[in-house]
Structure formats: C-alpha cells, structure tokens
Amino acid sequence: MNALAERAARFLEGAMPAEEAAAFEQELATNPALAQALARQARLEARLRRILGAEREQNLAADATPHTVTVPGIPMPGAAMRPSGERSQTKGPRRPGQSGRRRSARRSRPRTTAMLPLGLAALFLAALALGALVLNHAGTPRPSGNEPAAPRQLATPDPAPSTNPEPSPAHSFIVIKAGDATTNAAAALTAGAALQPGDTLVTGQQPSVCQSADGSTVTLAPGTTLTLSALHPATALKLERGLASYVVSPQKAAPFTVAMPLADISVIGTRFVLEAGPYHSWARVEEGRVRFASNTETRVLGAGDEGLATADAQPRIFGFSLVDAISGTPLPGRHALRDGDSIDQTQQVAIVARTSPSVSAMRVSLDQQDDSWERNPPFALLGNPATTQADTASFYPVKLSPGSHRFVVTPYDNDGAAGPERTLRVTIQ
C-alpha cells in the first residue's frame, strides 16, 4: 500500500485526528491524485463489504433446512414403498425351517393388491399436475431468447436485492466521505455508497466528498443540498443550495454540467467553486474555463473570474470568504465561513463579504462595540487599505485577540436603503 492509499484508508477508518482530517479534506479539492486514491480505497472497502455480506447469506442458506411436504401413499424419490400393514423383513429372526422363498411369495400378493389403488392415485395426481402445467404455459407469455429460464425448484428463498448495488465502472458517483450527510429518503450515507440518478445528498454540520468514475471530485460544504441528475453520457448535477467545490477531469463524451436556481455551469475540465441560495447563484473559477449562463448573461469565466446571478436588485450579503490578505486569493476550502469557524490569524488572512452588485457600502459592528463603514469593494470586514498609497496590501489582515468574536454586517445601496443584515461568529486562534 503506497502513501496515498494508506492515508485514504486511515481517513475512511476514522483513524485521523480532527486537525489532520480537516487538512486532508482541504487537500482533496486541490490534489486529484489523492482524491482518486480515496475513491479506489472506498470502492475496495465497499466490494469487501458486499463479498462478506454474500458469504454470510450463503452460510445462512446452507444452515437452513427446506420444508418437505409428503403426500400419503406417494413415495419420495429413492425411497422404497411399503404398503400399510406390511411388517419389515428385517424385524425378528427367521424361524427354523421357514423358507424365505415361500415367505416372499406369500407376501407378494398383498403388495400387489395394495399397490394398485396407490398407483392409480399417483397417476391421477400426475395427470392433474400435467393439466395445470399446460394451462399455465398457455396463459403465460413465452420468454424471449435473452431471458434466463426460471428455476424448477428453490430450496431456499432468493436473497433480497441489495440496496447498494455495485455501479457500472463507466458510470458511477461514489460517496468518498459521508460525514453526517443523508439522502432524499432520510437515510444516512456511508463511505463507498453509490448514488443513482435522482438521489439528493444533504449535508449537515460536516462536509461530504463524492467522486465520479472519471475521477471528478465534488466537495460539499456543510448545509449543502446536491442532486445527481444524470451519469450518462456525462455527469449532471443540480446544486439547490449551499456551497460545493469541484475538480472536474477532462470530459470526452459531453460537458460536466451543474444547474443552480439562477444559473447553469458547463465545463470540459477545470476546478471551480459554486454557491447557490434563494437569492443568488455564484461561481468562481480556480483553474481552466467555465461557461456561466444566467437569465441576464452568458459568458466564459477564466481562472480567477467570478460569475453572479441575483434574484432581485436589493442589497444583500450572500456569505463570507477567508482570503490571503496580500494577494486577495481565497484560501482553499475556506470559500464559505460559517458561524463558529476557527481562524489562524498568523497566516495573514482577511474576511471578505460576497455581496450583490447593488451594495455600495457596508456597516460593520464588531462585538457590539465598534462600528465601521466599508465603501471600497470588494468589502472586507476589517477594511480594505487599497486606497492608502503607502500600503500595498489588498486587505487589512485579521488581528484580534484570541477567543470568540461576533460581526454584524449591514449592506446599503446607493440610495441609502439597507438590506438584510448578516451575522458571523468566528474563533481566533
């Protein structure tokens, strides 16, 4: 087992510490080799579980004894028929002087007499069975040549069909990391489960990772709803709400597509992030090119470009991202900050709001004490010093005391109308 496979096995078994597991999940979005190793390990463990389950069913079937129905007067195959009243020939010793030939001849007459009605009864039952078979054959459509013949007799009932069949190698969508995700049937998922077209995956408080057969990986943030629409000729997904990161392998048959409430995405092979909510659909391309189509525009996004479709013109804050304070580039796996997330401020990071185009200013309240106004997009919660010529940094980095802090942010448009406020709680390490 190589190093990647060993890490994947430890991750699936839950043997990684929490910090190492979090770093592993972030690396999945940028390391296709690691994602493929995790997919192979998950498929291997799923096959082992199916093999063990099949062996257990065979053992149970072997231990079970089929019920046998005996019709009086009709012998079982291989069993000698003895009329009622006949005594066993092996019972008791032979009396001296008794001839075996005379005893056999004497008992042959009652055997013939008793066998006659039994034979007639057997012929009558066989005729009834043959008639039923002919009627059943006449009323039942004949199977085509491709259909297998039905078995004549089953000693044990057929095992129940598996609820998690092994997908076709060419078309599959495997859950690599389940977390606390469930399906549309409210069933908890496990690593190695295969999603079928029509299945909806819903994450809770933990992220989830899925991978298609071609190695394309989707990492779902907590609170995300994703539906698998199709697997052939190419993968088609529907992001109903939440945020997900995608690493798409080169597509040969057809583009990899993702539908959102307000926009659609189609790609040939790239790395990008999508977010969907009731009032917006957002995309950011990390690598390659993505076609972004909404009701108002259709354009191609390159690396570093973003696309946004909104439901109305009201000033809104859709979420917050953690970015590098110097370059302004979002950190991998930190596109969506959630209440209670931890921030390591030694990394020189900044918190940036994702807003609608109508936002011209934001009022930021920190710990219900300090209020500040941000008027330069992109809007950072601790300020954007780009207007200061002496400072070449993109944003002010986070410099807060260790512990929990609470931001309350209100957006405003050019007319001074306020939009819905958003709250973000973070823990500084």
pLDDT in tens, 342-397: 888 788 889 999 999 999 999 999 998 878 899 888 898 887 765 544 445 588 88
Say yes or no to pLDDT of 315 above 90. Answer: yes
Say yes or no to pLDDT of 237 above 50. Answer: yes
Measured in residues, the chain has a length of: 429
Query: Which of 18-22, 59-63, 255-259, 362-366 is predicted with the least confidence, judged by mean pLDDT?
Result: 59-63
Say yes or no to pLDDT of 66 above 60. Answer: no
Percentage, residues of the chain above pLDDT 90: 28
What per-residue confidence (pLDDT) applies to 100? 45
**Could you tell me the CA-to-CA distances from 11 to 18, 28, 34, 40 in Å, in that order?**
10, 12, 11, 13
At 233, the pLDDT band (50, 70, 90 cuts) reads: confident
Coil, strand, or helix at residue 242? strand
What is the rounded average pLDDT for all residues in the chain? 75
Contact predicate 348/305, CB 8 Å: no
- Report the distance separating Cα 159 and Cα 95, nearest Å: 58
Coil, strand, or helix at residue 163? coil
Query: Which of 23-37, 76-90, 224-238 is predicted with the least confidence, judged by mean pLDDT?
Result: 76-90
Say yes or no to pLDDT of 39 above 80. Answer: no
What per-residue confidence (pLDDT) applies to 410? 95
What per-residue confidence (pLDDT) applies to 184? 80
What per-residue confidence (pLDDT) applies to 238? 96
Residue type at 302? G
Coil, strand, or helix at residue 351? strand
Residue type at 86? E
Q: Write down the residue that tokens 């039942």 correspond to.
A: 140
Say yes or no to pLDDT of 18 above 50. Answer: yes
Mean local confidence (pLDDT), 100-106 = 43
Residue type at 52? L
At 202, the pLDDT band (50, 70, 90 cuts) reads: very high
- What CATH number matches the domain at 166-310, 1.10.3720.10, 2.60.120.1440, 3.90.650.10, 3.65.10.10? 2.60.120.1440
- Report the distance separating Cα 51 and Cα 58, nearest Å: 11
Residue partners of 16: CB distance under 8 A and separation at least 6: 10, 24
Residue type at 3? A
**Spans of all domains in the chain:** 166-310, 317-428
Token pair recorded at residue 257: 């597509």
pLDDT: which is higher, 96 or 347: 347
The CATH class, in words, for 317-428 is mainly beta
Say yes or no to pLDDT of 157 above 50. Answer: no
- Report the distance separating Cα 272 and Cα 369, nearest Å: 38
Query: Can you state the percent helix, strand and coil of the chain, rounding each to 5?
Result: 25, 30, 45
Reported as a single tens digit per residue, the pLDDT across 270-306 is: 889 999 999 999 999 988 999 999 988 899 999 889 9
